[in-house]
Amino acid sequence: AQSVTQLGSHVSVSEGALVLLRCNYSSSVPPYLFWYVQYPNQGLQLLLKYTTGATLVKGINGFEAEFKKSETSFHLTKPSAHMSDAAEYFCAVSGGENYGQNFVFGPGTRLSVLP
């Protein structure tokens, strides 16, 4: 079965600092990988996804993530944090055509941005 781990349930950064949110997955085959953001009292919104091709994926709001097969990781980064980035971030994995159909979400990382 697939699983997703997100190191750090809560991450705090200063405004303007680098954001790094970690995601590791367990899968016997390269899966599809996603990052979602959840603002308070709102639904989840897709930030970016990796399916095939280029391993560095750019998303909305200046976020990007890199798929590293050898490390089974898909860490999310943003060069300079903004106050509006404060939210809950979820990494998700789906198995793709030959493995499984459904999304498995990580437990989430709450990002706080300090002025």
Partner 1 sequence: GAGVSQTPSNKVTEKGKYVELRCDPISGHTALYWYRQSLGQGPEFLIYFQGTGAADDSGLPNDRFFAVRPEGSVSTLKIQRTERGDSAVYLCASSLEGGRDTSYEQYFGPGTRLTVT
Residues at the contact surface with partner 1, assessed by CB under 8 A: 4, 9, 32, 34, 36, 41-46, 49, 51, 90, 92, 94-97, 100-108
Local structure of 92: helix, strand or coil: strand
Return the number of the residue (1 or 115) whose C-beta is nearest partner 1: 1
Task: Give the span between the Cα atoms of 108 and 106, in whole angstroms.
Answer: 5
Q: How far is the CB of 94 from partner 1 (least distance, A)?
A: 4
CB of 41 to partner 1, least distance (A): 7
CB 20 within 8 A of CB 76: yes
DSSP 16: T
